[in-house]
């Protein structure tokens, strides 16, 4: 890995990485067990992340961003993994890499002042409203509508599986502005959650990522000004497909670094755990198992770093991002499962973080586009 790191990361990236690690180890790690138990975490975490500049790394300085290259995003995402709490990590990444990029790239100055700048500071919490009870990966079939009424849109419908949904101050929302069309009728609007008619249906119970709030959202004749349309009407599907690339890439970055952490922690456990008179890591069956896993993680890291390089240089990389999402996320699930097995019965106990990791990591091949969708994208772009 040394030559790959030396190629992409400079001294300033490493200094930044140290700052993020300090934030994680001082602000997050000491609290995650309590937050997991409560299935919640305090909103001030967003504010602290904003104060450190973690929510606008690649955004224009005019709006409070840092205008840095993408390798800062890679470093930050990798360091988040040391929190051992995927729910908090995901909530922060929704804020910085999923709900706000489209505002930065396509929003008006008024929209950036109203929504983006406070999100970068951590003063406002954002969520991304895409999935619906009857439309997940099939975005063109969503049913939440935005009907024109004078200078306003009137929004009706519902969303589900929305991260940050119970605490969000605004929703970056996908709607149908022309229900008679498929993907050509999709648009993006910004909706403050204090809008009359907006309601959180309920906080959803989940297998993992328990600290992250995941909600159903309902819109009952929510009236917003048409000036909160992001970009052009009818182009929302295409905007989202581009937005997905950043979301999927940070998922792959986190998956690789998470898999590495699972292995590192397991090897430490195996050095101290003795069975039949010797540390269990010294048994050939497990030495070979970890040799294989380390090889696969290194291969995934190389693929992800290659794709990050393309993404940083703004080279079209939909196929490569899809490959990263598919390969890295499926590998992380495999690694978590094997590391839990290595811990034996203790792996099933919450005393060791591998039990939480095993639950949390399962989301990776579902959220942001399933593995099946990634395979379809790769197949189409490979002319199969």
At 208 the three-state DSSP class reads: coil
* Helical pair 70-80 and 236-272, crossing angle rounded to 10 deg: 50
Rounded to 5 degrees, φ, ψ at 172 are -85, 105
The verdict on whether 39 is a catalytic residue reads no
3-state secondary structure of 78: helix
CA atoms of 143 and 130, how far apart (whole Å): 10
User: How does DSSP classify residue 344?
Assistant: G
CA 190, 194, 196: angle at the middle one, nearest 5? 95
User: Which tokens go with 270?
Assistant: 């195996």
Query: What is the bridge-based pairing of β-strands 186-192 and 274-275?
Result: unpaired
CA 27 and chain centroid, separation: 20
Q: How far apart are CA 199 and CA 195, in angstroms?
A: 9
What DSSP character marks residue 56?
Answer: -
From the candidates 36, 114, 132, 247, give the one annotated as an active-site residue: 247
Encoding tokens for residue 340? 């839990």
Number of H helices, E strands in the chain: 14, 10
Nearest partner of 19 among 82, 61, 84, judged by Cα: 82
CA geometry: angle 223, 226, 232, nearest 5 deg:
135
Catalogue the E-assigned strands of 34-151.
126-129, 145-149
Nearest-angstrom CA–CA distance, 169 and 78: 27
The crossing angle, in degrees rounded to 10, of helices 353-361 and 86-93 is: 40
Which of the residues are catalytic? Answer: 247
């Amino acid at each position: 890995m040394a030559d790959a790191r030396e190629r992409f990361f400079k001294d300033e990236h490493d200094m930044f990485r140290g700052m993020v690690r300090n934030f994680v180890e001082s602000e997050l790690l000491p609290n995650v067990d309590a937050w997991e138990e409560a299935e919640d975490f305090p909103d001030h975490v967003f504010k602290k992340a904003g104060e450190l500049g973690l929510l606008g790394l690649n955004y224009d300085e005019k709006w409070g961003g840092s205008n840095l290259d993408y390798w800062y995003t890679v470093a930050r995402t990798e360091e988040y993994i040391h929190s051992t709490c995927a729910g908090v990590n995901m909530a922060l990444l929704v804020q910085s890499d999923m709900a706000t990029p489209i505002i930065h790239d396509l929003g008006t100055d008024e929209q950036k002042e109203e929504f983006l700048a406070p999100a970068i500071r951590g003063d406002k919490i954002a969520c991304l409203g895409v999935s619906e009870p009857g439309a997940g990966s099939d975005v063109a079939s969503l049913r939440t509508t935005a009907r024109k009424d004078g200078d306003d849109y009137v929004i009706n419908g519902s969303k589900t599986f929305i991260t940050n949904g119970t605490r969000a101050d605004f929703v970056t929302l996908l709607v149908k502005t022309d229900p008679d069309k498929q993907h050509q009728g999709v648009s993006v609007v910004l909706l403050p959650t204090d809008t009359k008619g907006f309601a959180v249906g309920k906080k959803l119970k989940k297998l993992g990522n328990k600290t992250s709030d995941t909600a159903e959202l309902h819109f009952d004749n929510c009236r917003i000004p048409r000036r909160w349309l992001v970009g052009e009407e009818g182009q929302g599907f295409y905007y989202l497909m581009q937005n997905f690339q950043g979301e999927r890439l940070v998922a792959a970055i986190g998956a690789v670094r998470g898999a590495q952490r699972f292995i590192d922690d397991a090897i430490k456990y195996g050095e101290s755990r003795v069975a039949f008179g010797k540390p269990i890591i010294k048994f050939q069956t497990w030495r070979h198992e970890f040799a294989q896993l380390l090889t696969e993680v290194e291969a995934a890291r190389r693929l992800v770093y290659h794709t990050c390089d393309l993404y940083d240089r703004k080279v079209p990389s939909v196929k490569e991002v899809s490959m990263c999402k598919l390969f890295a996320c499926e590998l992380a699930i495999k690694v978590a499962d094997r590391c839990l097995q290595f811990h034996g019965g203790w792996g099933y106990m919450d005393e060791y973080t591998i039990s939480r990791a095993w639950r949390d990591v399962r989301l990776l091949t579902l959220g942001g586009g399933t593995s099946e969708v990634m395979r379809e994208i790769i197949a189409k772009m490979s002319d199969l």
